Structures are given as structure tokens and as C-alpha cells.
Structure 1
Amino acid sequence: MTPPTTRTWSRRGHTPVVRVRGRSRRRLSVAALVCYKPGERSRLIYRPCPDARLDGRKSFSWQGYRDLIQIAHQQLGGPIVLVWDNLNTHLSAGMRRYIADRTWLTVFQLPPCSPDLNPVEGIWSVLRRTTTANRAFAGPQNLITAVRRGLRQLQYRPDVIDGCLTGTGLTPVPP
């Protein structure tokens, strides 16, 4: 777990060195949806992927995304128009079948290599610049706790979520 460093300093002519003890191949995968409904505040719905999975995967499978969409449908209580990137699990055959069987779900794929059109990328950027910036985590559980805390704080900041939506060119209408 190499700490994300946003700023550091050193004497002129000397390259700063950040020493980190230990090395880990663990990672934390989080799936998130930025939700907008006219007349209501913007929402952030997220789910972290468990680190120890029985199938050996280190990230979400299409079933994990399916479950997140199902939870969002229950929380939002209405039809969903989903705009997402071209991640291979988003394009899998199982996910395509799931989408085809749901009349309340409409999906639009973003063009390849266009993170500037994805509002969730703005959420990850805010998270990297605030919660996880300039921190060395003692272990994977500390990282998970910090990310969950940061995302929970962002859930209560609809202005930040609206900023991520606006950054993509979408203009949310205030309630």
C-alpha cells in the first residue's frame, strides 16, 4: 500500500524520498453510482468489494454490479437511466441479459477513454485529495475504514456530488 502523496517538500536540488515499510498486493475495489433525480438532492450510492472472495477475484464481477443496481433501484424507487464506462464487467453477457430483462433500467455506454464524462471519477478525485491524501495506512483495514468514512461524508455533501455532475457537462436542477 503505497501512500498517495499530494504534496511534499525538500531542499532545492534534493529529491524527496517517502519511506514506506512493508509491501502489500491488496487493493480495495469500490463501485459507486452518482444519482440525480429532478427536484431532489443528488445522491451517492456505493458498495465496497470484500477483500477475501471465495472465487479468487480481486474486483467486482457482473453480479456485484447487478446487486448495486438492484439496491439503487430499491432506494430510489423508480426507473434508472444508467450511464457508465466500458469496463469489461459492464459489457459481459450476464450483465447484458440482466439489463435486457429489466424494463426500469436503461443503459448508455460512454465512449472509450472518456473519464471526464463520468461523474464517479470526480468522486474518486475528491476522495484522493481529501480523505486519503498524505496518509500512510498501517494495514488494509485502515484503508478500508478511511475510504468508507470519506464516502460516507460525501454522501452528506450534495453540493460536492452536484459539482461532480456539473464537471461532466450535466446541469442538475436544484430542488
Structure 2
Amino acid sequence: MERLSAAQWARLEAELRRGPLVHGFEDDQRRTLKRIKLLIGRMLYVRYTVQGVWKLLRRHGWSCQVPVRRALERDEGAVEVWKKEVWPQVKERRRTWVPTSASKTRQG
């Protein structure tokens, strides 16, 4: 059972289309479930869980946001250097296989 009326959903959807900046999220322009939950509470005085917000959005045809294109600021050269030089140093090395015991009292 949905807790929002058709009029409330229409109002929420209109506000979501206006974007996060209008609602005071200057630091990051992504719509997150937590932010949408806060918006529903502030605007409509209806409480939802994060999971409930996800179900509500899916029910009305909304989906996860995936960037359509890469950021204009992205530096492909710097990304390649990082992949080749930094990542191998940061990446945790895989352990080689070592026989162990499943017993908690008797270690292998």
C-alpha cells in the first residue's frame, strides 16, 4: 500500500526534477535515496525507510542514475598513469594457498 496520494507523488516528482541544488545539497549534485527520504519527510510529512523510498521510486518508473557521459573534467592521461603506477602499489596482493585447520582449538 502506497502512503503517498497521486497529488503528493506528482508534487514530489516535480521537486525531484528540479534537482538537489534547489533543496540545499550544494556539495554534491547526486540524488540519493537518503536525500529523497529527507525531502519526502520535509515536504510531505510522510516517513519512509530508505528501502521504502527505493520501492516507491521503482513502482513509479524511476531507476538508478548512471552517468550518460564521462565528466568533462576527467583527465584520461592521469587515469592511465594511476592505473599503471599507483594501483599496483595500492592493490592488496593475493595470498597463496596455505593449508589451514577448520578447528578453532587446533590451528593447522
TM-score band, normalised by shorter chain? under 0.3
Q: If each structure's strand is expressed as a fraction of its own residues, which one has the higher value? A: 1
Bigger Rg, structure 1 or 2: 2
Greater relative CO, 1 or 2 (CA 8 Å, sep 6+): 1
Q: If each structure's helix is expressed as a fraction of its own residues, which one has the higher value? A: 2
